[in-house]
Amino acid sequence: MRMAKGGWVYIMANCYHGGMYVVVTADLMARVHQHREGNGSDHVMQTGKTMLVYAERHEEIEAAIARDKLVKKWRREWKFALIEAENPKWDDLWEVWFGGGGERPARKRRRVSASLPRHSVSGPGQGRGSTSALLRLADGPFGHYPMVIFHAAP
């Protein structure tokens, strides 16, 4: 799933409401595979953050980098709300998309009461006319597959 241009902001976690790793890449599938194999980053390997719990596509890599920097500054509760808006059970999206039969990590339960900042993605300037994209699952002839949904900002 290598894209000619653009990028992805994604979040890796070690368990439900556990440690999170927010990062940007141009090739989501290859990068997540590297993380899961222990070759992606030392931090992910040492902390066990191998669950892909959130992914967001951007048409321009600059917009993805800007969004990555923004999300990294958010409070944990805001990141939880961002993940749970699309993936309420914190399922490992890699396992959902590609299977594998691995057992899910134990999950902690905690109530999130923080409000989520507006969830539009925009490039430099963060103004009108920008677009946002979310990764969702769609049904296809061979089961579920990731699909990118683009939205125009108001």
pLDDT digits (tens, 9 = 90+) for 10-61: 999 999 999 999 999 999 999 999 998 888 888 888 899 999 999 999 999 9
Tell me which of 1.10.150.20, 3.30.70.2190, 3.30.70.3270, 3.40.1440.10 is the CATH number of domain 7-152: 3.40.1440.10
From first CA to last CA, the distance across the chain in angstroms is 29
- Between 39 and 110, whose confidence is greater? 39
* Percent of the chain whose pLDDT exceeds 70: 62
pTM given for the model: 0.64
- Which of helix, strand or coil describes residue 120? coil
Give the number of other Cβ atoms within 10 Å of residue 146's Cβ.
Answer: 18
Q: Are 68 and 22 in contact (CB under 8 A)?
A: yes
Distance between CA 46 and CA 28 in Å, rounded?
Answer: 20
Domain ranges of the chain: 7-152
What does DSSP say about strands 131-140 and 7-13: parallel, antiparallel, or unpaired? unpaired
